[in-house]
Chains A and B, each alone.
Chain A
Amino acid sequence: MVGLFARLKDGLSKTRQGLVGKVEELFTGRKRIDAELYEELEDILIQSDVGVDTAMDLVEAVRAQVKAQKIDDPAMLTDVLKEQIAAMLGSETEPLNLQEGSLTVIMVVGVNGVGKTTTIGKLAHQLKAQGKRVLLAAGDTFRAAAIDQLEIWGSRVGVEVIKQQEGTDPAAVAYDAVQAAKSRKVDVLIVDTAGRLHNKANLMEELRKITRVIGRELAGAPHEVLLVLDATTGQNALSQAKLFSEVAGVTGIALTKLDGTARGGVIIGIMHELSVPVKLIGIGEGLEDLREFAAGDFAAALFESR
């Protein structure tokens, strides 16, 4: 467990270095809380991909606290900002919606290249380690070698993959997979889907159909629709979250590539504007590089001094 925590800290350190480093520098390097300081704070937040609106809201919230609590020492602003961000993120951990004693279907969706297949590999590994029987469905029948990619993850993790030929209707693969999952009595079925841009009506319709077929074959399924978002993405992530939610009923977000220098501030923006919780974060390309997202911890980790 200690090892895991160290990895998480390691993965998050880039984020922390970026955002927190700057915020602390700003707060400790100043004598007075003035308009200029607020402006710089806003800039730093925007640079973290928080988004202009959310950045302004956050600064407003900090300003209000400063006034209410009669704060005049800039050094105290770190805590104030931390509190405000935590408030926006919500401090509860949102675990995956896993059914006790019956089949759980998790569908994984998102735009091209965000890390869906990799996240599925990591998640399968994690669930298997918890003693669950896991089955994967190769629902990306479009992208070249997408099926092979999932199969390689399947054999790495040691779980089976339900697949058909490239070009098959993905809803048919999903149908097969649910049947197989039922008859093999697995605990969790994870369905991969092809990357698609959320503004393409026909591809979104296809996703709607996959969701519908899964629901028809198993009442209440899919229990979890995970939208994978790339932390490097800017404000477009909001549009992705909105449209995928509309079509596929997204229940949670997996935020990947937090091991880069992208700050992950997009989380704050998304949670602030949409009610979809972030459930998982990806911090690398290895099997172990997936973490449960804990809003409170995340905010705290962001502001932990180094």
Chain B
Amino acid sequence: MAMFEGLSDKLQATFKKLRGKGKLSEADVNEAMREVRMALLQADVNIKVVKDFVNKVKERAIGEEILRSLTPGQQVIKIVHEEMIALMGGTQSKINMASKPPTVILLVGLQGAGKTTHAAKLANLLRKQQSKRPLMVACDIYRPAAIKQLQVLGDQLNIPVFDMGNKQNPVDIAKAAIEHANSHGNDLVIIDTAGRLHINEELMGELRQIKERVRPQEILLVVDAMTGQDAVNVAESFNRELGLDGVVLTKLDGDTRGGAAISVKAVTGCPIKFVGVGEKLDAIEPFHPDRLASRILGMGDVLSLIEKAQENFDLEKAKEMERKIRKQELTLEDFLEQLQQLKSMGPLSSLMDMIPGIGGNKQLKNMELDEKHFARVEAIIKSMTPEERRNPVIIKDSRKKRISKGSGTSIPEVSRLIKQFEETKKMMKQLTGNSNLMKKMKKKKGAGLRLPF
């Protein structure tokens, strides 16, 4: 799958020559870390942030997991991915609401980041989700037609816009807007401000004054996802001057990797609350750290990958598989094929939960579903002859010995796999018989056809 170019492939290549070595030295890990560093820098993560991050990952990688893994490349990616998600924080798209309305949200940021559009998107979202009665406030008195832009968006959404033209001080406008909201029953006030450079003292002072006068519940920094190394300076300044509550990451519908998000989060500690994914006024989403982590690593968006796999779903093949399962004709060859397809789709744990009929199935969940296990299973099957794969019953002791040697595993492991395979075959039959699994799978277009080993 073309989307898996990038770090994943590079790491795989890096580790290829190490295969069969059994153990990874610190030097091996260092080589992998160079690739990780490259990937992060190419994604525009700030270099200082990259350094800290790589050190952290390295410690973890040398320490444990990786040494025992058969596919160190995958293992490193997993660690990197996990650490990145940890760094970016969870999904926190909550807006702090005032105990006594109105709740005030102040949007700030550089020129051209997308503040005005996101003022409208947020107003629209919170009206829909939380039945708020928003008022948008036009405090950008500098950029030509900025007020008009907000008015047009307000008209489109049928959301009121408060403005006092471009001759009044934005601080006074903001203050008056709150009074207006109070007297007009608006329980949410979203203030759009002019884009400004973080080094412009006068204009940063203006924001500080607005903050003092209207005491917003949320000061959100709007950041263009395409921002480069400078993101740290921008975020740091805005945070120092204003004390940010969150970040809105815009233009994520582009092809940028979006590494600025990590930089911003790392220097401010503020959660990324929302992402903008299009020019339409409903193109706003809660932030998903896992998706962005995959994207920054150049692994594609795991979720869109799955969608892609669903699109590419081959109905004929699925029918054939269904028939095989029902008739218990499934072979280890099919098993291997499924395994490889699954592997090409990325982190398994996240995938498994989404497979209909499996996420909730205790029996299946109890089976070992980790990647390490997969790698060993794959190695074992690959060491079998085609005949053995088709007809595993012929695998007796001497064959087991050969297979375990060839795959670098043990005889009990080979036995266990064969046993598990037979059991799974039975279970699949039951499932298809009892619970319309196949129908459900089809409804979800294919994702379900990955076998649950």
Whether the Cβ atoms of B228 and A262 lie closer than 8 Å is: yes
Whether the Cβ atoms of A233 and B145 lie closer than 8 Å is: no
Contact A197-B251, Cβ < 8 Å, known A143-B149, A257-B111, A285-B142:
yes
Whether the Cβ atoms of B47 and A49 lie closer than 8 Å is: no
Q: How would you classify the secondary structure of chain B's contact residues: helix, strand, loop or mixed?
A: loop
| Chain B residues with CB under 8 A of A46 | 41, 47, 229
| Chain B residues with CB under 8 A of A200 | 253
Whether the Cβ atoms of A111 and B226 lie closer than 8 Å is: yes
Interface mask (B129-143 → A, CB under 8 Å = 1, otherwise 0): 000000000000011
Report the bound CA distance from A166 to B253 in whole Å.
24
A128: CB under 8 A from chain B?
no
Q: For B112, give the chain A residue with the smallest CB separation.
A: A113
Stretch from B254-262, B358-366, B423-431 that touches the partner: B254-262
Determine which of B41, B260, B279 lies in contact with A112 in the assembled complex, contact meaning CB atoms within 8 Å: B279
Determine which of B113, B114, B150, B255 lies in contact with A236 in the assembled complex, contact meaning CB atoms within 8 Å: B255
Report the bound CA distance from A235 to B260 in whole Å.
11
B371: CB under 8 A from chain A?
no
Report the bound CA distance from A147 to B228 in whole Å.
30
CB distance from A288 to the nearest CB of B (A): 16
CB distance from B174 to the nearest CB of A (A): 21
CB distance from A193 to the nearest CB of B (A): 14
Whether the Cβ atoms of B112 and A49 lie closer than 8 Å is: no
Which residues of B, 148-170, contact A by the 8 Å Cβ criterion? Answer: 148-153, 156
Which residues of A, 124-161, contact B by the 8 Å Cβ criterion? Answer: 142-146, 148-149, 151-153, 156
Report the bound CA distance from A146 to B279 in whole Å.
14
B86: CB under 8 A from chain A?
no
Q: For A284, give the chain B residue with the smallest CB separation.
A: B197
| Chain A residues with CB under 8 A of B230 | 49, 232, 260-263
B217: CB under 8 A from chain A?
no
Q: For B113, give the chain A residue with the smallest CB separation.
A: A113
Report the bound CA distance from A262 to B110 in whole Å.
12
Contact A235-B254, Cβ < 8 Å, known A114-B112, A153-B144:
no
| Chain B residues with CB under 8 A of A143 | 149, 279
Q: Chain A: how many interface residues by the 8 Å CB criterion?
A: 45
Contact A235-B149, Cβ < 8 Å, known A49-B230, A114-B112, A115-B111:
no
Whether the Cβ atoms of A115 and B112 lie closer than 8 Å is: yes
Q: For A51, give the chain B residue with the smallest CB separation.
A: B42
Q: For A262, give the chain B residue with the smallest CB separation.
A: B230
| Chain B residues with CB under 8 A of A153 | 144
A104: CB under 8 A from chain B?
no
Report the bound CA distance from A112 to B277 in whole Å.
13
Whether the Cβ atoms of A239 and B144 lie closer than 8 Å is: no
Determine which of B112, B144, B199 lies in contact with A261 in the assembled complex, contact meaning CB atoms within 8 Å: B199
CB distance from A282 to the nearest CB of B (A): 10
Report the bound CA distance from A230 to B253 in whole Å.
18
B224: CB under 8 A from chain A?
yes
Which residues of B, 39-56, contact A by the 8 Å Cβ criterion? Answer: 41-44, 46-47
Determine which of B44, B151, B251 lies in contact with A234 in the assembled complex, contact meaning CB atoms within 8 Å: B44
| Chain B residues with CB under 8 A of A235 | 42-44, 228, 257
Whether the Cβ atoms of B199 and A236 lie closer than 8 Å is: no
Whether the Cβ atoms of B279 and A260 lie closer than 8 Å is: no
11 A-B pairs with CB atoms under 8 Å apart are A112-B251, A153-B144, A156-B144, A197-B254, A198-B255, A200-B253, A234-B256, A237-B228, A257-B111, A260-B198, A263-B230
3 tightest A-B CB contacts, nearest first: A234-B228, A113-B112, A234-B44
Given pairs A113-B114, A146-B149, A262-B228, 13 additional interface contacts (CB within 8 A):
A47-B47, A49-B228, A49-B229, A145-B148, A152-B145, A197-B255, A234-B256, A260-B110, A260-B198, A261-B198, A261-B234, A263-B230, A285-B143
Residues in B lying within 8 Å of A, measured CB to CB: 38, 41-44, 46-47, 110-114, 116, 142-146, 148-153, 156, 197-199, 224, 226-231, 233-234, 251, 253-257, 259-260, 279
